[in-house]
Amino acid sequence: MDVSYEEIRSALFSMGPLKAPGPDEVHTLFYQSQWSTVGLDVCSWVRTVFSGSFLDHSINKRLLVLILKTRSPKLLSQYRLISPCNVLYKIVTKVIANRFKLVFPFLIAQNQKGKKSWVAIKVDIKKAYRIRWDFIVDTLLDVGILSSLSNIMWNGNTTEEF
């Protein structure tokens, strides 16, 4: 699957420069400010992923971080859970999300649209590892998401590690 230089660059530059960095502690700002130096290498890596190579599992490692919702939390529900990931991983997922944005208007009828915003699948964290991943994959394939794109999203691995 071809990914253009501009598609990759656009994905990177549409991200907030100082959002929470992943485990490698590198902010998006680094890649944005050093694009003239690292751009070709980043594009080469992203294209390798889209050509069918599996992501190195170290790229997909994330932290679980609890953000306070109140000053003196006493319950877990008073925290917001975030899971920052590496910028390279974010670029790949942003390219995929941008491609979904082009497809979804054809899959969702005008009368089904409640908002003009994006779509999300929310999974209860307690049930996340009991989900039938084959159902999710089959659903994506049934609506016309290419199997190569589906393989990138699952990285060939639907275990709790992924």
User: Which H/E stretch holds residue 135?
Assistant: helix 133-142
pLDDT band at 162 (very low <50, low <70, confident <90, very high): very low
108-151 pLDDT, tens digit per residue, is 666 665 555 555 555 555 555 566 777 777 777 776 666 666 66
Whether the per-residue pLDDT at 155 is higher than 60: the answer is: no
Does 158 score more than 50 pLDDT?
Answer: no
Does the model's pTM come out above 0.85? no
Q: State pLDDT tens for residues 3-46.
A: 999 999 999 999 999 988 888 899 999 999 999 999 999 999 99
Check if the beta carbon of residue 29 is closer than 8 Å to that of residue 17: yes
Domain map (residue ranges) of the chain: 5-154
Burial class (CB in 10 A: 0-12, 13-18, 19+), 87: buried
The predicted pLDDT at position 123 comes to 57
